[in-house]
Amino acid sequence: MSDPEEKSAVDRGAAEKPAVAPEGGEGQTGDSSVQEVAIRRSPRYARFAIIGTGIGVVTAFILTTVFPSTLSFTSFQVFGFLVLLIGVVGGALGAVVALIFDRVLSRRRCRAIASRIDANSTQT
């Protein structure tokens, strides 16, 4: 059985490990395992695009039900056309919003010191 104190130290080490890449190799000196890194938040572009597409589909459904159907197209065809048009526009607008958030959040970056941990080393 393992010591609970040892297990919590391992969990803490995994939780404190920064998931950032070094910026231009600054702060690296030879074989040193300590680096200065830039930390900044970044939006998930795919999520913003999917949410924008979802809003576009809901908008297409509302427009289809609000306006009366025509003789030349059924309401399902109108809904399909609107989903294709408004869904793509909504996805594009969602991606633009993500780009704007990325620009705003890129100004709020900070610097931190990160130490590299060798996962293959054996400690006793």
**Per-residue model confidence (pLDDT) at position 121:** 65
Segment 57-80 shows an average pLDDT of 87
Q: Which residues pair with 110 in a beta bridge?
A: 39
Cβ atoms of 124 and 6 within 8 Å: the answer is no
**Per-residue model confidence (pLDDT) at position 122:** 66
Q: Which residue's entry shows tokens 């297990």? A: 7
**Per-residue model confidence (pLDDT) at position 73:** 84
Cβ atoms of 114 and 18 within 8 Å: the answer is yes
What pLDDT digit, counting tens, does each position of 30-40 carry? 445 788 887 77
For CA atoms 21, 23, 26, 30, the dihedral sign is positive
Q: What does the domain layout of the chain look like in residue ranges?
A: 1-39+111-124, 41-108
Q: Whole-model pTM above 0.75?
A: no
1 CA to centre of own chain: 39
